[in-house]
């Protein structure tokens, strides 16, 4: 289902893609089957994002803490990520999607680093959607790295080193925490938590989250204009 809200693609939506393993185990499948199904969900969401006014989509694929998982699962995840990059680069190029990977790269294999570089170079001119995939990522480490990399520390310089502020953060799988994801960028993000496991998440779910976001009033520490006007008239 495609819903067009009649707006420019300016929203930055971030997604913590949670529930792959539990989705698989509930079906008597190995956890890696859930990760494969999760890759299909990424494709669905990427296709659905631009008509919803989403200009930047950042998805959490593998955290710095995920290295603690069993070696076999980590290896399967890295292999799946490499296959995803090779399979999706042409699709991204054809659909105007600029693909970027954020997070550490020095702990990834040489072949995976090369695949990332090729995908980023091939899609660098995409303007319809900026797709950022967080791999070996830690929000706290990203902030530290940003601070160390700027000459003069300020909100503006750190934000420039990290990336755009997040408007809407979605987490699937029923958990309600940030898990070290885009901590600086989510300072004023609206949060939507879905009980749906990531492999089952689709275009309608994304549209529903954006619709909920559109229905909220973002104050950024201020008071609503109508309330301020009422208080001003009362003081008069």
Active-site residue (options: 18, 136, 167, 205): 18
Whether 67 and 74 have beta carbons less than 8 Å apart is answered as: yes
Whether 18 is catalytic: yes
- The C-alpha angle with vertex 51 and arms to 49 and 53, in degrees rounded to 5, equals 75
Whether 126 and 97 have beta carbons less than 8 Å apart is answered as: yes
Q: CB within 8 A of 233, min separation 6: which ones? A: none
CA dihedral 76→104→178→207, nearest 10 degrees, is -70
Active-site residue (options: 66, 95, 141, 180): 66
Q: What is the rounded distance in angstroms from the CA atom of residue 63 to the CA atom of residue 182?
A: 11
Whether 180 is catalytic: no
Active site residues: 18, 66
């Amino acid at each position: 289902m495609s819903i067009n809200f009649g707006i420019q693609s300016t929203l930055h939506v971030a997604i913590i893609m949670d529930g792959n393993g539990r989705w698989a185990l509930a079906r008597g499948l190995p956890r890696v089957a859930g990760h494969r199904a999760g890759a299909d969900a990424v494709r669905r969401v990427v296709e659905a994002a631009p008509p919803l006014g989403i200009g930047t989509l950042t998805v959490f694929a593998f955290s710095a803490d995920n290295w603690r998982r069993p070696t076999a699962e980590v290896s399967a995840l890295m292999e799946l990520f490499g296959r995803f990059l090779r399979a999706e680069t042409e699709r991204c190029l054809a659909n105007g999607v600029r693909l970027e990977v954020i997070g550490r790269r020095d702990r990834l294999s040489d072949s995976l680093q090369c695949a990332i570089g090729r995908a980023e170079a091939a899609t660098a001119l995409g303007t319809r959607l900026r797709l950022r995939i967080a791999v070996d990522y830690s929000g706290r480490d990203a902030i530290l790295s940003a601070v160390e990399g700027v000459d003069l520390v300020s909100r503006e310089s750190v934000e420039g080193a990290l990336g755009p502020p997040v408007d809407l953060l979605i987490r699937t799988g029923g958990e309600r925490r940030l898990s070290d994801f885009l901590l600086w960028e989510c300072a004023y993000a609206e949060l939507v938590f879905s009980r749906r496991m990531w492999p089952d998440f689709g275009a309608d779910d994304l549209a529903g989250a954006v619709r909920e976001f559109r229905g909220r009033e973002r104050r950024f520490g201020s008071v609503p204009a109508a309330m301020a006007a009422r208080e001003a008239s009362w003081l008069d």
